[in-house]
Structure 1
Amino acid sequence: MAPALPSNGASQSSEVTSLNILTLNCWGLKFISKFRNQRLEEIGRRLASASPTPEIVGLQECWTQRDYLQIRDLTRTILPYGKFYHSGIFGGGLAILSKFPIVDSNMVRYPLNGRPTAFFRGDWFVGKGVACATIELAPGRRGDIVEVFCTHLHAPYEREPNDSYLCHRTAQAWEVAKLMRGAAEKGRAVIGLGDFNMVPLSFAHQLITAHAPVQDVWRVLHPDSSLGSANHPPERARGKEIPNARFNIEKNGTTCDSALNTWRWSKQVQKRLFNGESIIVEDGTPDPRAKRLDYIFFSNGLKVPDSTPIWKVHSVKVGMTDPHSSIGCSLSDHFSVEATLSRPNAILITDKPTSTSSPKNPDPFPPIDTETPTPLPPSTYSQILSLIATYTTRERHQRLLRLSHFGLSVLVSIGCFIAIWYSPRPFVSFLLLLLSTLGFGAGVVDGLIGGLFVGSELRALKEFEWEVRNARDVAEERERLGGGDGDGVVGGRRRGDREGGLRGEDEKSN
């Protein structure tokens, strides 16, 4: 039986001794996601009845305020505080719910976030970014402030190294890591959660855990968990057998593309399910496609006073796996990640942990590392700079083509108007006028994209390049001097965890 934690409200002291965290991509696309209203309503009910009771919840792809308010109404008794974050043309899809007061909040949009020409993908239009909330666990108690960052990174749409959005995800990982590092340097506990559209130890994952003093909570308790789906090259290189669906859920923490998720079934099987047929997937079913894209990162903060209790990982699991009670479909195309953190003065009723810990660590509840960050190897920063240079070259070429298209459309339009004077018949004049109007309209749109949007993107790339180049210079200087304490200049983690630089490739999430 899992060790029970005391209720936060049971103690006479105002100190919070446990913290239940949950993150879920709701797949709440308006007009696109099937059974959206029924599914999100059920998500609200599940949150309200979950055990242990969630105390900090991060939601992604909760696109409409109506869905958010519906979830808020269903969870108001356990999560009385909440914030729906507005961003972009269609909204950022992010929301944070809390048992504790949200004393401050803001939305930080990513400088690099897709392209308006890829309207069928929508990342640029929704204005993805980081939903930030400062949560006060116990009013007036020093050290009981938690900084929460909820995000949804750009999805990869092509296989690396040909993924033109790799630079965008790298820049986004850098931005969210900066935010978490800044909060940790204040001595505050940090929670980063959401759909990061990356697999464990991929480029973006290692950048986050190196550039900010945070740890992936799942890997704290499951350090040998998978590095992606069974057919993912780094995972395949480990030589492990294809895991079954239950093992993927319990040990690998897979939240996307699971064989147990009905939205990953074929259209034919889904049709049978929606027609009322009972379809059961056995736990032992081979599950080669499942992967972990949803994360909870945590840090106790840097320079925490000795008197402040340190949080430890009590348990972590994948949740929201049971289908909708009446429809039979999964609640989302992702499963949730749920973690409980505890402080050392929490009273444990039994001595058996929920999740097994690393054999090298006799403590069943490993502490979250709060060491001072150290820089990445200079070679890794050089890899990022090379990536930026490649993408910058691509965008400069795109700007030239779009501005050239605008100039050509102006010439064609003028030519059409001149030709109308010599047109022998009215219908020819009409065709020339139509060609001029449509061609000039398309040229103006392309010119605006090339002159304004691409220009803005190139300036954002310059800022990103300067930050990375500066971090590399600091890393090189420290290597030349034989190391240093890395006191809050650039992020990092233990040298043994980052040998070989950043590797791996991200996988796609819908």
Structure 2
Amino acid sequence: MAVTLKVLTLNSWALPLVYPFGSKHRKLRIEAIADALLHEDYDLVSLQEIWREEDYEYIRRVVLETLPYSFYFYSVVNIWYSFYSGYIGSGVCVFSKYKIVDTLMHPYSLNGYGHHIHHGDWFGGKVVGMAKLLHEDLKINFFATHIHAEYNRANDVYLPHRIVQAYELSQLVKNLSSGADMSIVVGDLNLESQDLGYNLIVSNGRLKDAYCERKDTHCLNDSTQDGCTCEVPTNCFTVLAGESKVVQTGKRIDYILYNHRRSIDLTVERCFTTLSKIPQHPTINYSDHEGLCAIFKLCKNTDGENFVSTGHASSTDTVFPEAIKVIDEGIRKNRSDRNFFMAALICLVVLYVSTTKADGDFDRVLFQVIFAVGRLMLSILIGFCFWHGRVVLSMERKAFLAAKGGMKLLCDSEKSA
């Protein structure tokens, strides 16, 4: 008996702050998203950037009749990891028509830097969340994630972190897929299809891209061209800052990836972008991203082998060496940063000690207050340089080495196979 699965992923852009620090029309858009999930016949849904628990609870209550099972992946705070990223949560949640029997969450070991306040990824701890589902006699692993943003393609200072996240995601999917009939990976990967990180996820995770595998390549439901989901010119939240930054159709960075046992006959009937303009508010989009929907048709066969099928992207023979080069560059930058922060720490300590008895030289209260504030700022900087230079960067180095070691081991294993 054939089973149809309708899967949706959407980066909801729901920062709970006043615009321009937060998301524009957040409340209106959350209500519209909930209404769309209620009336569309989705089987599995993942939303990203649902930062407020109240927003998640609101959506959960609204869609309870059609998507009765749901789970929110909280980002766990670990005080030993640099006041651990994830202060405001992961923002990732899933909704399902079918029973969720188990869950797993893996916080990425690297996720940007806390002092890069202008880039908020560190504060929203990126995770891989997995919901294990049972539908009739099918076991489905539903992975949802959100990878660190790129920000500057020409000078991507976060690229080593993003490659480590891509590697950890692919390893989780590969090692957990053997117990499932089908694994589905969805979310905002912040990677384009020609990027190293995308090829690492697809090749090492043994995944296929639903948009590339779709039968209906001329879907009339597409809200954008070429599956683009971000920086779409027709999206009211897209800011085209300068002619050089204009993208004709946008970027394809939100994905629905999958693999399955060979004993499963599977086709991607359709895969298309959706949830563009809100019908009741035609000048406002559901989000700054478009949604992506895939419709799968699958059934068990009795003749197939009981192994997970493999993707057909770039071979890991070429992907891993390239990824290791990126991580090596991250290790070199890490060494340079540690030297800089240790030198800054020594200079600040010397300056602080040299001012220990200087406060007695000031008679006026105003000067004494300014001097005290200055020494307080020095103390804060000393603490930050020690914590970041000795603790955070040491942990970053170990995470780089762990990922590099794992990749080298896999390379050696493939060569000897």
Which residue in the other structure is 1:290 paired with?
Answer: 250
1:112 is matched with which residue?
110
- What is aligned with 1:481? none
The structural deviation recorded for 1:214 is 1.2
Deviation at 1:42, TM superposition (A): 0.5
Q: Which residue of 1 aligns with 2:15?
A: 29
> 1:147: which partner in 2?
141
Matched, 1:192 2:152: no
The 2-side partners of 1:205 and 1:424 are apart by 64
Offset of residue 224 of structure 1: 8.9
The counterpart of 2:269, out of the listed 314, 338, 345, is 314
Q: Partners in 2 of 1:426 and 1:187 — Cα distance?
A: 71
8 Å CA contact 1:114–1:168 kept in 2: the answer is yes
CA distance in 2, matches of 1:135, 1:419: 67
Shift of residue 320, structure 1, vs aligned partner: 0.5
**Aligned pairs, how many?**
393
Q: Does 1:168 align with 2:161?
A: yes
Partner of 2:384: 445
Does 2:251 correspond to 1:258?
A: no
Kept in 2: contact 1:135–1:147 (CA 8 A): yes
Could you list the per-position Cα deviations for residues 265-293 of structure 1 after superposition, in whole angstroms to 9, with x for gaps in the alignment? Answer: 679xxxxxxxxxxxxxxxxxx97141211
Relative to its length, the structure with more strand (as a share) is 2
**2:320 corresponds to which letter in structure 1?**
Y
Report what 1:100 is aligned to: 98
**Aligned equivalent of 2:79:** none
Aligned residue for 1:154, secondary structure, equals coil
Q: Structure 1, residues 14-65: CA drift from partner, whole Å, max 9, x if none?
A: x661111111110101111011011011111011112xx1010010011111
CA–CA distance in structure 2, aligned partners of residues 455 and 412 of structure 1: 25
| 1:62 is aligned to 2:1 | no
Query: Which residue is 1:45 aligned to?
Result: 35
2:121 corresponds in structure 1 to 123
**TM-score of the pair, normalised by structure 1:** 0.72
Shift of 1:264: 1.5
The Cα shift of 1:187 comes to 4.3
Paired residues of 1:259 and 1:290 also in contact (CA < 8 A): yes
Task: State the shift of 1:374 in Å.
Answer: 11
Question: Which residues of structure 1 form unaligned runs of 5+?
Answer: 1-14, 226-245, 268-285, 347-367, 479-510
Structure 1 residues 475 and 414: alpha-carbon distance in aligned structure 2, compared to 1, 3 A threshold = same
Q: Does 1:135 align with 2:109?
A: no
What is the CA-CA distance between 1:221 and the residue it aligns to?
2.3
Post-superposition CA distance 1:158-201 (Å, at most 9, x none):
224x3111111111111111111112222431000001111113
Aligned counterpart in structure 1 of residue 176 of structure 2, from 180, 183, 195: 183
AA paired with 2:9?
T
Report sequence identity in percent.
24
Tell me the distance in 1 between the aligned counterparts of 2:233 and 2:314. Answer: 39
- Kindly indicate whether the alpha-carbon contact (under 8 Å) linking 1:103 and 1:133 is maintained by their aligned counterparts in 2: yes
* AA of the residue aligned to 2:3: T
Which 5+ residue runs of structure 2 have no aligned equivalent? 76-85, 302-306
Question: Equivalent residue for 2:80?
Answer: none
Match of 2:6 among 20, 23, 27: 20
Task: Pick the structure with greater CA Rg.
Answer: 1
Tell me if structure 1 keeps the 8 A contact 2:226–2:249: no
Q: Matched residues in 1 for 2:318 and 2:283: separation?
A: 50
Write the distance in 1 (CA, Å) between the matches of 2:400 and 2:299.
Answer: 44
Deviation at 1:128, TM superposition (A): 0.5
SS in 2 for 1:315: strand
- Equivalent residue for 2:336, pick from 397, 402, 421: 397
The residue aligned with 2:208 is 215
Partner of 1:173, secondary structure, is: helix
Distance 1:374 1:17, change over 3 A: closer
SS in 1 for 2:163: helix
For 1:400-450, what per-residue CA distance to the aligned partner results, in whole angstroms no more than 9, with x for missing partners?
222222222222111111223455665554443332221122121221111
Mapped partners of 1:312, 1:57: distance in 2: 19
Q: Distance in 1 between matches of 2:216 and 2:330?
A: 34
